[in-house]
Each structure stands twice: as C-alpha cells, then as structure tokens.
Structure 1
Amino acid sequence: MYKVFINEKKLILSEKPEIVERNIAFEQDLQFDIAMDLLQNTSTKDVAIYHNDVEELWSKFQNHYQVIEAAGGIVINPENKILFIYRLGKWDLPKGKIESGESRDDAALREVEEECGLSNLQLLDFISTTYHMYHIKSQPVLKKTYWYHMSYSDAKTPIPQVEEGITKVEWKNKVEIQQDVEKSTFNNILLVLEDFLSNHDIS
C-alpha cells in the first residue's frame, strides 16, 4: 500500500478496496487524474485506487507524473529530543531537494545542516519514505521524501535558515510533540513520526 497526500487529503494505492469515501478499480492512467480531481476540487477527503498488482500500479502512477526526490531527517540530541523547524505556520522536519549526482543520505545530512545551522551530524539508519503532490506551473508533481534517523551530540544552538522561510528551530520532547507539533503539522510528518516512534523511545 502507498499513501500520497494532496492538500492534506489522502490517495491510497492498494491491492483491494479500502475504507475511504471513494474506491476506483484501476483500468487506465486516466483514473489517476480522476482521483486527483476528486481530492482537489470536491469535498472528498480520501480516495483509493486498487489493482491486484500494487507495485505495477505504483510504477504506472510514478510514470504518470513528474517526480522530484527530497531527503531529510529526524535528529535526536543527547537529551533524547527531536529537532523540528517552524515554517509558514506549521511545525515540520528539516528536509530538501536532492541535488543532481547527490546521494539520498548525503542530501539528508546537507539539508538538515543548512536548515538548522548545525554540523557534525551522525547518520544512523533509514526510517521511511513519504509522498505528496503539489503543482509547479499548474502541472502536478509527485514529491518523494526519504527520511533518516540522525544523532547530534554537540551543544551548539540550532539557527533557522530564514531565507528558506524557517522562523524557529527547536528541540522537543514527547509531551511537546503531542501538545505542539501534532496539532500543527502535515499528515506525512505524522506518518514519519509514527514510523520512528514505533521503534524508538524518546523522553
């Protein structure tokens, strides 16, 4: 199963119908655009497109749209807190576009360092991949973001990359995440946090 977010609404690609407002049996690529139209231009909150070979379905979906890849991280400090950025009224995790010729893990480290003003991060392990859609010059784009677990042991205070619209960078514990972040973040960020916290304990 794959979950793609479009304006915080959910498109599921799966092997069978799901518990959603609208299920579409896949027959042709046009149905991708029909699902997108439902999510963008109606009150429909979630749609599933299903096919007995979900990997083939996912491959067709990716080939139907322009794909941009990005990478970022969940960074843990010695106090066992997670690093968050605040941008455009939402809490987020640091991430950014993978440059030409750059590896995913190198891009993840570079983006976290640039957006948070830190260095000497240690890359630990891969967490998960999230997917969301947005538009460039009215054309839909699929953004794939690869997330990595990182650690930071220095005492330097993070500095927001203001030229990227980041106004705050803060370390947050579990209670602060529940009280602050979960109430004002994106659905794909909630997915990453869920994946990470299912295997890691934080304060």
Structure 2
Amino acid sequence: MVPTIDQSWYQHPHGTPTEAAAGGVILRQHRGCWWVALIREGSLPDYALPKGHVESGESLQVAARREIEEEAGFSDLQLLGELGVLERLNFSKTHWKITHYYLFQTEQVTPLPSDPKTHQVEWFPIDQLPPIFWPEQRQLLQQVRDEHLSSLECSN
C-alpha cells in the first residue's frame, strides 16, 4: 500500500540519521512552451523528480547529474542554476533526506534510464503537471514555473 504524504513526513524526528541527496528539474522547449521531464518509479502511482543519494567524495552537482542520468536517462544537460534544498523523511521514514535541487535544460527527447526502478519517463508542459507524489516537489515545480520561466501558454 502506498502511504499518504502528510505533514509527518516534514517533521525531523530527534535522532533520525540524515542523508544527503541531489537531483533536478529537467526542462526543454517545445511547441512554444517549457516542458519538464518526470519519472515514475517502483510502485508509486504518481510522478516524481529524479534524485538520489550523494556518494562519498561526490559533489552535489555531480550527484544530481548522475542520478538524473540513472533515473531519467538524460546525459546531455546544461546547468541553468541552483534551485535550493528541500528536506523530509525518506520513503521508508528511516532517514532525514536533505535534497539539493538544480535546474537543467536539455535537447534530448527520448531518454534511456539505466535504473531498473524507473518505469516511465515522460514530458509534461510545466503549466499542466500530472499528479506529483511528493508535495514539496510539486511546489518546487510551481516555483520554477513562476520564478524562472517566462509565462508561455502551451498549445496542445
């Protein structure tokens, strides 16, 4: 059963170990608007941003690029900037996850993820998002749309 994400996921329990993570928002321009790549993984019913743990000795940006390539299959990424840090419990509620997000642009259309947990990678207009599993990721995508992109109407 997939849990409902409520406020309890955003309260750091005393003594819970922390885990550094990195990931990103991947954009491309198509048909006069900005599109964002989202993944579906494991048994989750909704979409998410690609992200994951930072390996020992790895910089945050290198970790973000590696995780994006593994989970979403994008290797040709242009860094547009840092988006910030979001914190919450991990899916199993065993670690406090501190995730550093970056904004990337790509010309790649058809990705090739290598992570077997990724079931699907899809492009969506940034102003027509599907259900996003983690609420803080939806808020981050809305922030990207509102603060970083020109307001272009998407034509379907």
Mapped partners of 2:145, 2:85: distance in 1: 15
Identity %: 27
Partner of 1:123: 79
Say yes or no: does 1:192 pair with 2:140.
yes
Mapped partners of 1:8, 1:111: distance in 2: 23
1:74 alignment partner AA: V
Gaps in structure 2 of 5+ consecutive residues: none
Contact preservation (8 Å) 1:129, 1:145: yes
Mapped partners of 2:62, 2:20: distance in 1: 13
Corresponding residue pairs, total: 143
Partner of 2:120: 168
Bigger fraction of residues in helix: 1
* 1:17-36 equivalent positions in 2, closer than 5 A: 33=13
Mapped partners of 1:135, 1:84: distance in 2: 18
Say yes or no: does 1:9 pair with 2:26.
no
Structure 1 residues 144, 75: CA separation in 2 closer, same or farther (over 3 Å shift)? same
Mapped partners of 1:113, 1:68: distance in 2: 20
1:77 alignment partner AA: R
Q: RCO higher in 1 or 2 (8 Å CA, sep ≥ 6)? A: 2
Structure 1 residues 68, 174: CA separation in 2 closer, same or farther (over 3 Å shift)? same
Gaps in structure 1 of 5+ consecutive residues: 1-5, 14-31, 34-60
Contact preservation (8 Å) 1:127, 1:195: no
CA RMSD of aligned residues (A): 2.5
Mapped partners of 2:104, 2:124: distance in 1: 15
Partner of 1:48: none
Mapped partners of 2:128, 2:121: distance in 1: 14
Work out which of the residue numbers 26, 35, 39 in structure 2 matches 1:85.
Answer: 39
Say yes or no: does 1:159 pair with 2:112.
yes
Partner of 1:36: none
For the pair shown, the structure with the greater C-alpha radius of gyration is 1
For residue 172 of structure 1, give the secondary structure of its aligned residue in structure 2.
strand
> After the TM superposition, which parts of structure 1 deviate over 6 Å for at least 4 consecutive aligned residues?
none
TM value normalised by structure 2: 0.78
TM value normalised by structure 1: 0.62
User: Displacement, 1:175?
Assistant: 4.7
1:68-116 CA deviation, whole Å, 9 max, x = no partner?
0110010111322101001222200111110001011111111111112
